[in-house]
Amino acid sequence: MEYKEFAKYYDKFYSKKNYKKEVDFLKNFIDKNDRIIDIGCGTGIHASLLNDYNIDGLDLNEEMLEIAKTRINGSLYHQNMLDIKIDKKYNIIISMFAVINHLRNIDELELCLKNLKQILKPNGKIILDLHNPQSSGEKVDCCDNIKRTMIWNYDKDLKIEKSKIIFEVDNKVYNDEHIFRIFSIDEVKNICTKVGLNVKKVYENYDVLKEGTNSSKNLQFVIE
């Protein structure tokens, strides 16, 4: 199914996600006059909470961008983060909710960071929010008449998390699968150095008082 069908249900199942906390974290690094772009903006919820700023969005999924159009005041780009062609530069580049984990390997991470650097203004910041699982698991939840079962398996040796998502909607079953490459702190730091960027700080759980470690469930990288 991937995100084309998932776009219909995405916001329902993440309605309890604390977007405000995540955006409040971002605001620690943003000035009022900054130009911002959200890479992998999805349906535009993070960006909509930053509409008081000059914010654009980019996503590969057309269905999600259609929803984002109703929320984001700035420009929207239907592009792949591995092939960004934008004639603007930004003070702040954000990429939230494990978008970077969709990259399959170190080479793709390097290419993505090179692309982000190309649209970053001098002295600008890139803020990446990465998923960092510690184990395999399973979760079942319901929203309205939709049941979702999530099963994920994490291979620590390959640094790959494979997730299967089963939606049951009106007696119909839809299957979705995701493959996430899990990037360690050192891997991100090394690739940043290679492309001429620098990891200034790593945080955990959108908290400026918590330093991220390899055992953190999620990591936020502030890169310059």
What 3 state SS string does the chain have? CHHHHHHHHHHHHCCCCCHHHHHHHHHCCCCCCCEEEEECCCCCHHHHCCCCCEEEEEECCHHHHHHHCCCCCCCEEECCCCCCCCCCCEEEEEECCCHHHHCCCHHHHHHHHHHHHHCEEEEEEEEEEEECCCCCEEEEEEECCEEEEEEEEEECCCCEEEEEEEEEECCEEEEEEEEEECCCHHHHHHHHHHHCCCEEEEEECCEEEEECCCCCCEEEEEEC
Which pLDDT tens digits describe the chain residue by residue (224 residues)?
Answer: 445 556 667 767 667 789 999 999 999 999 999 999 999 999 999 999 999 999 999 999 999 999 999 999 999 999 999 999 999 999 999 999 999 999 999 999 999 999 999 999 999 999 999 999 989 999 998 887 888 899 999 999 999 999 998 888 888 888 888 899 999 999 999 999 999 999 999 999 999 999 999 999 999 999 99
**What pLDDT score does 7 carry?**
66
Q: Are strands 90-95 and 35-39 parallel, antiparallel or unpaired?
A: parallel
The four Cα atoms 208, 213, 190, 130 give a dihedral, to 10 degrees, of: -70
**What pLDDT score does 169 carry?**
80
CATH number of 2-133+183-223: 3.40.50.150
Distance (Å, whole) CA 45 – CA 67: 10
Domain extents in the chain: 2-133+183-223, 137-179
**What pLDDT score does 4 carry?**
54
Token digits of residue 171: 């007696």
**What pLDDT score does 166 carry?**
87
| Cβ count within 10 A of residue 180 | 22
| CA nearest to 162, candidates 141, 139, 144, 136 | 136
Q: Are 218 and 130 in contact (CB under 8 A)?
A: yes
